[in-house]
């Protein structure tokens, strides 16, 4: 029997059908409503009985509500006039919206079909059916990739082009923004702005560019030259929020950044009085202008010889200075570079260097004051009023040592790679001072037959853009190209004195960064030690040894 026929029959016989069955037709089967029965002539007594029973039934059904769509819908269908109907309708609609939000977060066919089942008359049924009717688009949304959307557009042109293009733009926007954040440079943010002039993050990108132009130039300087700023300067700039440790880490890496964080200034090196005269030994002179790297080179030689166990310090005026230098580069990890020595200082460091046969070579290292270069420049140019009494005394003392022919001599002229045009407070370049010094020494016949070797030691050669094995050649070309007068004066002096060993040596401490820190590499230092051992005589013992030592000196 069709429902309509059944309903008509129930309405015709409503007064003869038991009340319990009528309630079943109303509440459980939903065939008729109480209003329809009343309109069909249901007796008042039966109406009242059905109402009382339905009220009891409604309270029981409401207690069973468990906040799911089916229970709300069953209640509303059973009790369209119920006292909780409006509340049930509101809860049902709220659950409808919340459920659809959950579906949209991760759309899938099972979720869509369940939503339609739970909310057959829901607010989003049409949208859900649209998704089900276009599953390829649904799959493209689920993949949410540029390739996925482009593939869909290729297979179904014109159907969802607008939505696909918007989705692709959003993905590219987020991808390029993340790249800009990770790179953390103004150029990266500018590139984002060029690619996405109307992007979601365009305001933040422009704000970063505007607020970080100074920081950007700061970091670019460090990227181009790891020694653009010293470690203490970087610490202060981080404290003042000019840069962050994250920025510094992006430039130097984690290990080096930790060294910069923990950096502490090295102590001042001690000074000493020059000796009246030098004891019998091979005198090794280190000439260098202030900040030429002379102190670091000496520290490397002392430290390397000390680590090898071939250095034996001897009593001398500069013993404390020598001991301090000997410990600078003994750390296998990172070392703190020494401060520059006093420009007016002269240090005598006397020692034995032991060769591979166990023979001792007696050497006096002479660290000459950097201020000598200015004093000689002023003296040659007859500006004697600028030469202080202290420096006049120091220059006279050095010339006294040099004119004493009893000891063999070796000379190292320390020059800093790439600094040929750096100017002093007087506006003069390194090349000006070096040329005058070489001219002065040449004119005063400082280089004689007792001179065993003259070397130009080019420091900071790690700056040269070439392979390590090419550095000696490039150092020589650097001196010939940028310091030609200095080189020619020394060359002329060596030829005049028949000195057979005049060379340019390349030198690097290793990986120097933040001006004050270094990962020491002793390869170049070992070459200098070899020169010292090859150009000096081992001491001999006994009577014949004394004669031999006297003749050699």
In 3D, which of 229, 230, 220, 215 has the Cα closest to residue 251?
Answer: 220
- Confidence at residue 60, expressed as pLDDT on a 0 to 100 scale: 75
CA triplet 95, 96, 99: central angle to 5 degrees?
80
What is the strand order of the sheet 510-513 is part of?
A: 334-336, 517-520, 510-513
Take residue 274 and report the two structure tokens written for it.
């020059």
The number of beta carbons lying within 10 Å of the beta carbon of residue 458 is: 28
- Mean pLDDT (the chain, rounded): 88
Q: What is the mean pLDDT of residues 293-302?
A: 93
Range of the domain at 405: 282-552
| The domain boundary residue, chosen from 90, 121, 152 | 121
Residue 544 predicted with pLDDT over 50: no
- Give how far the C-alpha of residue 520 lies from the chain's centroid of Cα atoms, to the nearest Å: 21
Residue 440 predicted with pLDDT over 90: yes
Cβ contact 326:311 at 8 Å = yes
pTM for this model (two decimals): 0.63
Cβ contact 479:420 at 8 Å = no
pLDDT tens digits for 166-199? 999 999 999 999 999 998 777 888 899 999 999 9
Max avg pLDDT among 85-94, 153-162, 204-213, 436-445: 436-445
Nearest-angstrom CA–CA distance, 486 and 110: 86
List the alpha helices (DSSP H) in 294-388: 294-308, 319-326, 371-380
pLDDT tens digits for 363-400? 999 999 888 999 999 999 988 888 888 889 999 999 99
Max avg pLDDT among 97-106, 216-225, 490-499: 490-499
Residue 231 lies in a domain: no
SS3 (DSSP) at 158: coil
pLDDT tens digits for 468-478? 999 999 999 99
Nearest-angstrom CA–CA distance, 177 and 190: 11
In 3D, which of 452, 437, 474, 369 has the Cα closest to residue 407?
Answer: 452
Residue 305 predicted with pLDDT over 90: yes
Cβ contact 533:353 at 8 Å = yes
Q: Which long-range contacts (CB under 8 A, 24 or more apart) does 522-525 make?
A: 522/300, 522/304, 522/329, 523/468, 524/300, 524/461, 525/297, 525/300, 525/301, 525/304
pLDDT tens digits for 12-44? 888 888 888 887 877 766 677 777 888 888 888
Percent of the chain with pLDDT over 70: 95
pLDDT tens digits for 413-423? 999 998 877 77
In 3D, which of 375, 339, 360, 362 has the Cα closest to residue 284?
Answer: 362
Residue 517 lies in a domain: yes
More confident residue, 127 or 78: 127
The number of beta carbons lying within 10 Å of the beta carbon of residue 461 is: 23
Residue 435 lies in a domain: yes
Radius of gyration of the chain (CA): 46
Least confident of 57-66, 152-161, 290-299, 425-434: 57-66
| The domain boundary residue, chosen from 76, 103, 121 | 121
Take residue 249 and report the two structure tokens written for it.
């880490």
Nearest-angstrom CA–CA distance, 193 and 177: 9
Residue 13 lies in a domain: yes
More confident residue, 456 or 545: 456
Please give the tally of structural domains in the chain.
2
Residue 126 lies in a domain: no
| The domain boundary residue, chosen from 75, 102, 121 | 121
What secondary structure, in 3-state letters, does 227-270 show?
A: CCCCHHHHHHHHHCCCCCHHHHHHHHCHHHHHHHHCCCCCCCCC
Nearest-angstrom CA–CA distance, 171 and 146: 7
Residue 179 lies in a domain: no
β-pair type (347-354, 311-313): antiparallel
Least confident of 37-41, 121-125, 499-503: 37-41
| pLDDT tier, 142 (very low <50, low <70, confident <90, very high otherwise) | confident
CATH number at residue 529: 3.40.50.300
In 3D, which of 450, 439, 299 has the Cα closest to residue 373?
Answer: 439
Residue 232 predicted with pLDDT over 90: yes
Residue 145 lies in a domain: no
**What is the torsional sign of CA 209, 211, 212, 217?**
positive
In 3D, which of 71, 87, 32, 86 has the Cα closest to residue 54?
Answer: 32
Residue 470 lies in a domain: yes
- Give how far the C-alpha of residue 517 lies from the chain's centroid of Cα atoms, to the nearest Å: 16
- Confidence at residue 548, expressed as pLDDT on a 0 to 100 scale: 45
In 3D, which of 364, 354, 361, 357 has the Cα closest to residue 298?
Answer: 364
SS3 (DSSP) at 305: helix
**Whole-Å CA distances, 132 to 69, 116, 157, 241, 273:** 21, 11, 19, 55, 95
Reported as half-sphere exposure (CB side, CA atoms, 13 A), residue 263 has a value of: 25
What are the DSSP calls for 447-487, one per residue?
Answer: --TTEEEEEEEEE-GGGSSS-GGGHHHHHHHHHHHH-HHHH
- Confidence at residue 1, expressed as pLDDT on a 0 to 100 scale: 41
Nearest-angstrom CA–CA distance, 122 and 59: 26
């Amino acid at each position: 029997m069709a429902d309509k026929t059944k309903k008509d029959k129930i309405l015709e016989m409503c007064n003869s059908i038991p009340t319990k069955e009528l309630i079943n037709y109303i509440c459980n089967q939903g065939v008729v409503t109480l209003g329809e029965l009343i309109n069909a002539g249901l007796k008042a007594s039966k109406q009242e009985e059905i109402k009382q029973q339905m009220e009891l039934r409604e309270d029981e059904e409401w207690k069973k509500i468990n906040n799911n769509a089916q229970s709300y819908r069953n209640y509303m269908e059973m009790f369209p006039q119920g006292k909780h109907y409006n509340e049930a309708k509101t809860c049902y609609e709220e659950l409808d919206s919340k459920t659809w939000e959950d579906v949209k977060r991760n759309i899938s066919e099972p979720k869509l079909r369940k939503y339609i089942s739970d909310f057959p008359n829901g607010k989003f049924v049409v949208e859900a059916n649209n998704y089900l009717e276009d599953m390829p688009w649904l799959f493209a949304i689920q993949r949410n990739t540029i390739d996925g959307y482009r593939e869909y557009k290729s297979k179904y042109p014109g159907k969802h082009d607008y939505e696909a293009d918007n989705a692709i733009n959003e993905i590219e926007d987020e991808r390029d923004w993340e790249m800009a954040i990770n790179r953390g440079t103004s150029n990266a943010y500018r590139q984002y702005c060029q690619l996405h002039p109307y992007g979601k993050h365009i305001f933040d990108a422009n704000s970063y560019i505007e607020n970080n132009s100074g920081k950007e130039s700061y970091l670019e300087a460090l990227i181009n030259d790891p020694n653009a700023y010293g470690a203490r300067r970087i610490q202060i700039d981080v404290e003042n929020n000019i840069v962050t440790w994250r920025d510094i880490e992006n430039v130097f890496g984690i290990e080096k950044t930790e060294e910069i964080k923990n950096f502490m200034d090295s102590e001042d090196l001690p000074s000493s009085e020059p000796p009246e005269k030098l004891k019998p030994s091979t005198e090794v002179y280190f000439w260098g202008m202030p900040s030429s790297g002379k102190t670091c080179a000496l520290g490397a030689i002392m430290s390397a010889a000390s680590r090898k166990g071939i250095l034996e310090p001897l009593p001398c005026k500069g013993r404390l200075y020598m001991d301090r230098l000997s410990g600078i580069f003994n750390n296998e990890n990172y070392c703190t570079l020494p401060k520059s020595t006093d420009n007016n200082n002269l240090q005598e460091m006397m020692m034995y260097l032991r060769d591979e046969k166990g023979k001792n070579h007696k050497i006096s290292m002479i660290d000459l004051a950097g201020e000598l270069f200015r004093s000689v420049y002023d003296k040659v140019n007859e500006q004697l009023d600028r030469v202080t009494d202290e420096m006049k005394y120091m220059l006279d003392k050095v010339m006294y040592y040099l004119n004493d022919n009893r000891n063999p001599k070796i000379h190292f002229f320390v020059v800093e790679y790439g600094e040929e045009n750096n100017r002093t407070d007087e506006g003069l370049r390194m090349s000006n001072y070096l040329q005058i010094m070489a001219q002065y020494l040449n004119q005063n016949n400082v280089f004689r037959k007792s001179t065993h070797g003259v070397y130009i030691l080019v420091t900071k050669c790690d700056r040269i853009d070439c392979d390590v094995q090419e550095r000696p050649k490039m150092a020589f070309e650097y001196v010939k190209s940028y310091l030609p007068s200095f080189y020619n004066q020394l060359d002329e002096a060596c030829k005049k004195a028949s000195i057979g060993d005049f060379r340019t040596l390349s030198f690097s401490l290793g990986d120097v960064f933040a001006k004050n820190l270094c990962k020491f590499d002793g390869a170049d230092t070992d070459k200098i030690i070899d020169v010292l051992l090859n150009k000096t005589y081992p001491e001999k013992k006994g009577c014949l040894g004394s004669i031999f030592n006297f003749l050699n000196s």
